[in-house]
Amino acid sequence: MLLPILSIVIGLFFLLWSADRFIDGAASLANRLGMPSLLIGIVIIGFGTSAPEMIVSAFSALNKNPGIALGNAYGSNITNIALILGTTALIKPIIVQSIVLKKEFPILITVTLLSAYLIYDSEISLLDSIILLTIFTLYMMWTIYQGIKDKSEDKLAENIDQELTDHLTMPLKNAIIWLIIGMLVLLASSKLLVWGAVEIATFYGVSDLIIGLTVVAVGTSLPELASSIVAAKKGEADLAVGNIIGSNLFNTLAVVGIAGCITPISVEPEVFTRDMLIMLSLTFLLFIFGYSFKNKQGSINRIEGGLFLLTYIAYNTYLIYSVIS
């Protein structure tokens, strides 16, 4: 059992390392080819930060372990809101100011409700997956259009430009090398992680869904946790909300869609009655806390952050109890 545990630890380490190298190389290469920095931030870095979830879920589906794929996607969404935003808000209360974020809140809720509808029949079919990926494509096109249109007005666009400075100074040769190395290590580490997770699930008689919801979900969400904490310490905590909304949309649409296109996913009843219910509840709370109503500035204060964090602890405690009982 030591070997599978080591494979998960090593796999996660190199998964996150390679994703960062892939982003550096891809962003620098895109800049050399003339892509505007705003599009690099939205497309390249957006895909890069969600690459761990996408690659792990794809390998899980290929290995006929779709439970890990689904658990990774939905578990990451729960982790993003409850653990990451909860922790970020405890460090520094989050004031939501960006126009883009306000527009994306309703999209996230709509997509989450659509996902609940699609898994109601206990399966994510090829047609369901195509629907998810089509919506994802339209969402990306809309995001790019809005980013270009509102660049002069939106604080998020300015912050993206500032954040890209470190990514765009790499020589062309180094960018290509790191792009290739990052992708190869990303693929290898993902395969190692999935193998370890399956071995542990088999040894302890735990469903691969539970492993996906817990160990894999937390591991693949570490880039979002790191970037959100850094943003909070820099006084840019509203960027954390943007990171989480974007990541959850990627997970719900692209991660599940890619896995479902590889193989139809049989959805356990608990996913709808337990995990989807928690994900929906957290998404609605995020909307209520973060959206600016007439007499209320959108924010997530420390009390609300603490509520998110307690929800995460309670949810994972219940998952552990369901396994050992």
Convert the pLDDT of each residue in 235-291 to its tens digit: 766 667 777 888 899 899 999 999 999 999 989 899 999 999 999 999 999 888 877
Bridge partner list, 95: 299
Lowest mean pLDDT across 75-79, 117-121, 157-161, 245-249: 157-161
The 10 Å Cβ neighbour count of residue 314 is: 12
User: If pLDDT is split at 50, 70 and 90, which confidence band does 151 have?
Assistant: low
Neighbouring residues of 229: CB distance < 8 A, sequence distance ≥ 6: 87, 88, 91
* C-alpha count within 13 angstroms, C-beta hemisphere, residue 259: 32
Global pTM value = 0.83
- Give the Cα separation of 16 and 191 in Å (integer): 13
**For residue 187, what pLDDT is reported?**
81
Q: Which tops the pLDDT comparison, 71 or 182?
A: 71
Does the pLDDT value for residue 27 go beyond 60?
yes
The whole-number average pLDDT for the span 141-158 is 62
Bridge partner list, 71: none
Entry field: residues in the chain: 325
**For residue 19, what pLDDT is reported?**
75
Domain 2-324: give its CATH code: 1.20.1420.30
The whole-number average pLDDT for the span 23-37 is 70
